[in-house]
Structure 1
């Protein structure tokens, strides 16, 4: 089967599965905080986390653009679950690009196939590296192991039988990135306060107390960490665009449906459907080109950050427009437009948040200006 056929087959299967299996769960996910673990495992078996992963590791042998499209299709039905797909597929991306063979052999195939669900707890480290907050986990060497302590307030797609991939600082050496199983001694998981949305993402507070991490669970040691982060950052940031694209597409559907009966008054609203659809198409084209470069490890970071920022802006604009088009019905708790608005806000606040993105964009542009002036 050609790559084009493989891609079409995968996307058709993901879309059909999302309509049949995920759509009926959406209200429970959103309003009761139901975690769609069984759906996630079935999506993994279908290939939904491995579009960008080579076949020898259980993937589909396609590319990041295809993975973004998978996340988009899930987001058409549920933004919360699309976020989980990003978590899982990003962990596969981290493992694929690790310079350490042992951790790839140990975890990549089961994560790619959805046999081992995995959360990415890199929010704190990414914000720390951008100069926004201190790092919360610290490690010390003990023979061939690292011993980790500290806490992370919000980590999603985690549990006692899940994996989590996080980073910690080592005084005087830099940082490590590692995988930890939820059942490790010294690792506690606690509930978080209730969120206004995304309650079905199994987001927990993780507390590490002298947790021993063997070398076979390390994705990047201190001497590898800077180059490793540079290699993976473009891919995991662009991966989040699929969450936004799915929400935008669902919002456009609401706009079209309400215009059947209310176009005569909706025409007076800002952000009309045709304009939003064109902006989405242009952004998708640009993101696909950047994803191809990220796959090759050469996507310009500034362009990646700008595409991700525009995704947040467009998602907020489209979801807000959908609620206004729907009118009073869109303010009902059971209406999809109301849920989409809360999901859209999450796209703009999940790390890297819109304010974080704008800070990094500003910092990079300032550096470029200094170089050009010199």
Structure 2
């Protein structure tokens, strides 16, 4: 399968937007500014719908193109690239839903950035991997569902944002659904201060007897397992874009500092000549898996996602060491990227979660 190119000017227009609207605000975002205007502008350029058909509000490209856009943003701001992943993933969920009503209601608005959206699937994904209990529970009420519970943090949220989450049902199974802004029983509360990602619009979410009508259901219990299997490869592979952008930005730092410090930097681990081929190999593997879509082997997808975390940690640490004391200043992108790379290795699925799933699949194959 060949790579589907985006419209000729898409990459250039997104680069221009990043230079003009994102780069000057990166420090403010790191300290807590939510880049809402940038997100909406990126949506107008198709930055969340590269993998979606044109009739769904997308660019008619493919999943590798969406991964590249996330990496493009991450090269300037890892925190904002996470928001782009959140938004693109919500569009991905909606595109894969069997429910035409929920797609008609939200897909084009989310894909175009007119409606910003947070994905609150971390708890459910960890629950399905046997790591923690599920926090949202519900029961059927008429044709819809009544949901209660709390999630400690969900990102890319605000008072006027959509929320997409999943809950366990009392009679068995799970349901995944959207909650529109201002829904009765939905409360957002501020989170404690993080060491990074402060501009990610992250809130504690509480649901108290929230009613979910049938037109807001992405998947019912009957189709839930197949639905998750359908969107999971894209969910994971798009996250690699965050790490890939951080690695490329770190390579930029290493290259720049070596113009005057190569005589001493040469004694450090993870040189430019080590990291550049590793990044290219990761991107080639990621694109190949992304082109396979739902047919991509899950074990290969998990390994690629884990490698993305590991390479991000290596590259950002190396860039900070190459920069030396200058890289330890709060104004230095090198130290910010260290914190952003740590987030790539912590965000669900975290590196330990990935290794748990990889181990389980390897054991199953060996048996």
Report the TM-score when normalising by structure 1: 0.96
Alignment of 1:278-293 (within 5 A): 278-293=277-292
5+ residue gaps, structure 1: none
Please name the residue that 2:33 is paired with. 34
Q: Residues 54, 37 of structure 1: CA spacing in aligned structure 2 closer, same or farther, 3 A cutoff?
A: same
Give the Å deviation of 1:9. 2.2
Is structure 2 residue 123 aligned with structure 1 residue 145?
no
| Residue 163 (structure 2) pairs with residue 129 (structure 1) | no
SS at match of 2:341: helix
Q: CA deviation at 1:182?
A: 2.9
Secondary structure in 2 aligned to 1:330?
Answer: helix
Give yes or no for the alignment of 1:203 onto 2:202: yes
Preserved contact between residue 7 and residue 66 of structure 1 (Cα < 8 Å): no
**Which residues in structure 2 correspond to 1:32-111 (within 5 Å)?**
33-111=32-110
Q: Find the counterpart in structure 2 of residue 317 from structure 1.
A: 314
Q: Cα deviation per residue 1:246-274 (whole Å; 9 max; x = unaligned)?
A: 11011000001100100000000000011
Give 1:4 shift: 5.9
Please show how residues 351-366 of structure 1 align to structure 2 within 5 Å.
351-366=348-363
Relative to the length of structure 2, the TM-score reads 0.98
In 1, Cα distance between the equivalents of 2:5 and 2:150?
45
Whether the aligned pair in 2 keeps the contact of 1:158 and 1:182 (CA below 8 Å) is no
C-alpha distance 320-155 of structure 1, shift in aligned 2 (>3 A): same
The count of corresponding residues between Structure 1 and Structure 2 is: 366
The 3-state SS of whatever aligns with 1:224 is helix
Matches within 5 A, 1:18-29: 18-29=18-29
3-state SS in 2 of match to 1:200: coil
Q: 1:67 touches 1:239 (CA, 8 Å); kept in 2?
A: yes
Q: CA deviation at 1:70?
A: 0.4
Partner of residue 367, structure 1: 364
Could you tell me how far apart the structure 2 residues matched to 1:367 and 1:15 are? 44
Structure 2: runs of 5 or more not aligned: none
Q: Partners of 1:125 and 1:39 in 2: how far apart? A: 29
Which whole-Å CA distance do the structure 2 matches of 1:263 and 1:6 have between them? Answer: 38
Residue 180 (structure 1) aligns with: 179
- Whole-Å separation in 1 of the counterparts to 2:249 and 2:8: 21
Change (3 A) 1:29 1:343: same
Alpha-carbon distance in structure 1 between the residues aligned to 2:118 and 2:168: 19
Per-residue deviation, 1:130: 0.2
Which stretches of structure 1, 4 residues or longer, exceed 4 Å deviation after superposition? Answer: none
Partners of 1:279 and 1:201 lie apart in 2 by: 29
3-state DSSP of counterpart to 1:320: helix
Deviations 1:32-80 (A, max 9, x none): x000001100000011001001000110010010000000110011000
Q: Deviations over 1:318-343 (max 9, x none)?
A: 00000000000010000000100000
What SS does structure 2 have at the residue aligned with 1:6? coil
Asked if structure 1 preserves the Cα contact closer than 8 Å seen for 2:5 and 2:61, the reply is: no
Deviation at 1:8, TM superposition (A): 4.2
Residues 202-242 of structure 1 show CA distances to partners (whole Å, capped at 9, x for unaligned) of: 10000000000000000000001000000000001101001
- Note the alpha carbon deviations across 1:313-371, whole angstroms, 9 max, x for none: 0000000000000000010000000100000000000000000000000011111111x
- Residues of 1 paired with 2:323 and 2:214: CA distance? 54
Q: Quote the residue 2:333 is aligned against.
A: 336
CA contact 1:11–1:69 (8 Å) conserved in 2: no
Cα distance between partner residues in 2 of 1:363 and 1:41? 40
RMSD: 1.1
